[in-house]
Every structure is written in C-alpha cells, then in structure tokens.
Amino acid sequence: MAFSLSPSSKHTFAHSLREKGLRPTKQRACVYGVILDKRDHPTADDIFDRVKKHLPGTSFATVYNCLETLVGCGLVRQVNMDRSPTRYCPNLTPHAHFKCTQTGQIFDVQIDQDTLSKMHALIPKGFLAENIDLCFSGKGDSSTN
Amino acid sequence: MAFSLSPSSKHTFAHSLREKGLRPTKQRACVYGVILDKRDHPTADDIFDRVKKHLPGTSFATVYNCLETLVGCGLVRQVNMDRSPTRYCPNLTPHAHFKCTQTGQIFDVQIDQDTLSKMHALIPKGFLAENIDLCFSGKGDSSTN
DNA sequence: GTTAAAAATGGAATTATTCTAATTACTGAT
DNA sequence: ATCAGTAATTAGAATAATTCCATTTTTAAC
C-alpha cells in the first residue's frame, strides 16, 4: 500500500506542490513520507529502498525526480558534505549539520537568530545570498552510538 | 620547465610535507604552485590543465594524488559546493565561500573572530568539530563580472 | 652504486547522478 | 463519461568526477 502521510503533512505537501502547478502523486507523497518518517538524513539510495517497500514498481529515476521536485518546492533540503552522496532533510528550520567522521551519522544543530544574523552580516555588499550552508565535521557524541 | 614557487612558499611547502615524512616532489610543487598562482578555486580538471603546461607528462591520477597529499598537509583546503566538482583553495585563514549561481564563480568571504566563536558555540556538548564549512550561494557582485 | 620505499603513471573501474525515449496517468474541456 | 493534451513515471543507457590497480620511475639512505 502507498505511504500515508499524517493529515497535516499531507496538507503541506499537497499545498506546496499545487502552488507550483505540480501534482501530489503517490510517488512524491511516498518519497516525502519516508523522509519525514525516519529523520536520519537518508541518501537517494536509502530512500529508494524504503519507497520500494510501499510502491514496489518505483524506479530510481522517479526517486531522483521526486527529490528534485520536493527540494524545488522547499519541502526538503539537500545536504551535501564533502563528496559523499547527497542526503535529504525535512527539517526546514535554520539549522546546521554535524557529521561524525567515525560513524558517518549526521546530526541537526539548531542555529539561533543572533548567530544566523552574524553569519548573514559576513556577506559583502553587492552580494545576495539565497542559501546558507553550515557544516561541521568531527567526532560525534559517543553517547548516541 | 617545472613550476617555481616563491622562496617563502617553497619553504612552507617543503616544511609541511617533510613534517609528515613526505617528499616535496616537482609534481606536488607544481600542483601547489598553480593553486597559489591563480586563486580562482580551480577544479582538479583545471589544475590538471595548468600543471600539464609545466610538466607535460603529468597524469590525472597524479594530480589527484598530489591534491590529496596537499590537503592532508593542510596546505590547501577542499571546497565542495553542492554536487559540483571539488575546488581547491590555498587561503588558510578562516573564511567562508560564496558561490554565484549565475557565473559559478566562487568568492572568499572572511570570517571575523566573533562570528567564528558564535558558530563554534552552536556545537552541542560532547561533539568535537574538527572542521567548519560555511557556504553561501546566490547572486554575486555584478561589478566583478 | 645498490637497494628499499615512495611517488607517478595509464588505464580500467566505480558510483552517484542525469538523460532519453517510451509508456502511463491525470486534468480540464467538451 | 470521453478525449486530448500535458505531466509524471519508467527502464536502461550515458555521463563525469573520482578512485583503484598494477607497473614503472624516482628518490634517499646506506
């Protein structure tokens, strides 16, 4: 059976897509669903595996298409750390990422408004930032292993 | 002829390598040289082309090997923005990068100590960051085109 | 000079991602 | 409801940055 989003997620989802004239298809809902469901910053590959459990016929291309669409609608964010596969994150609040070099795990790190402003203030006159990306890497919290 | 580093760069270069028991070969010097020479955040491909002008026999594998070595010695930094090819930067002071979405150009953006501290302060207890990466993207300064 | 270790080389292999052409599913107008 | 037109999905091929591997060359120490 298809993935079922919670009523509120389903609403945000359908609304965000329709705003851009796009259709809330079951594949898109499912991709969005698995990203919301387990917030472990999955790769396209992880997402493909999870989606197939719900919609076995789904192709890799579709997963990539859906991801691109969801990113374009602002429903999920892409997380790129060094050269490793792109990961996807449904947390839309201002936050940074911390990658544990030992486990590969990625953690969200909240950014307070003051620090965010200071970061914005770095940008020289004449530049207009549409995107900010802050990534840390190092040893993660051992208690979370 | 091989690339010639300025006396002070040559010293830093040889010193940093020898500290790790590595040899300051002409290929490594050349790769480092072209990165220092034109600080435009070149890709491995760009570097390969430039190195070949000085040392025509150089292979792609060597360029990658040298880059890995230089990064390992802390002589250059890798810059990864989204999925585009890795770029290399000899600026070792704390700085962020701004990528112009229109031209693809990458600009260095200095980070002051206060902002840097605030960014560090975001890291939760128990985590130890070895690396910080701050990237902006958006419209670059039109006066630089 | 000889020898052992390190580095460089060329080409093949890998892998995440994108592209392409063909099929299927919607949506809106009739 | 049906049809036409558009959007989305599919399978598989293609791409491109990077890494790997086996071999050759260079270097440094004795």
Find the mean pLDDT for residues B99-113. Answer: 95
pLDDT at A15: 96
CATH number of A7-87: 3.40.50.11440, 3.40.50.1970, 1.10.10.10, 3.40.109.10?
1.10.10.10
Contact residues, A window 63-92, toward B, CB-based 8 Å cutoff:
78, 80-83, 86
Counting one residue from chain A and one from chain B, the pairs whose CB atoms sit within 8 A come to 121
Interchain pair B122, A141: CB under 8 A: no
Region of B24 please: left (phi>0), alpha (psi -120 to 50) or beta.
beta
User: Which is it for strands B87-89 and A87-89: parallel, antiparallel or unpaired?
Assistant: unpaired
A134 touches chain B (CB under 8 A): yes
Would you list the domain boundaries of chain A? 7-87, 93-140
pLDDT at B110: 98
Beta strands per DSSP E along chain A: 77-79, 87-89, 95-100, 106-110, 128-139
Rounded distance between C-alpha atoms, residue A86 and residue A66, angstroms = 14
Contacts of A126 in chain B (CB under 8 A): 140-143
Tokens of A128: 């207009």
A126 touches chain B (CB under 8 A): yes
Nearest alpha-carbon partner for B89 in B129, B32, B26: B32
A117 touches chain B (CB under 8 A): no
Find the mean pLDDT for residues B136-143. Answer: 85
CA distance A79 to chain B (A): 8
Asked whether residue A68, judged by its CB, lies under 7 Å from any atom of the DNA or RNA strand C, the reply is yes
Q: Are A70 and A44 in contact (CB under 8 A)?
A: no
Q: Name which of A114, A124, A138 is nearest B131 (Cβ-Cβ).
A: A138
Give me the CATH code for the B93-139 domain, please.
3.30.1490.190
Distance A31 CA to D1 C1' (A): 33
Which stretches of chain A score pLDDT less than 70? 1-2, 143-145
Contacts of A138 in chain B (CB under 8 A): 127-131
User: Which pLDDT tens digit goes with each residue over A113-122?
Assistant: 999 999 999 9
Overall CATH class of domain B7-79? mainly alpha
pLDDT at B4: 82
Asked whether residue A57, judged by its CB, lies under 7 Å from any atom of the DNA or RNA strand D, the reply is yes
Work out the percent of chain A whose per-residue pLDDT is above 90.
91
Distance A118 CA to D27 C1' (A): 50
pLDDT at A144: 55
Considering chain A, what is the average pLDDT of its residues? 95
Find the mean pLDDT for residues B42-56. Answer: 97
Give me the CATH code for the A93-140 domain, please.
3.30.1490.190
B5 touches chain A (CB under 8 A): no
The identity of residue B125, as a single letter, is K
User: Which pLDDT tens digit goes with each residue over B26-36?
Assistant: 999 999 999 99
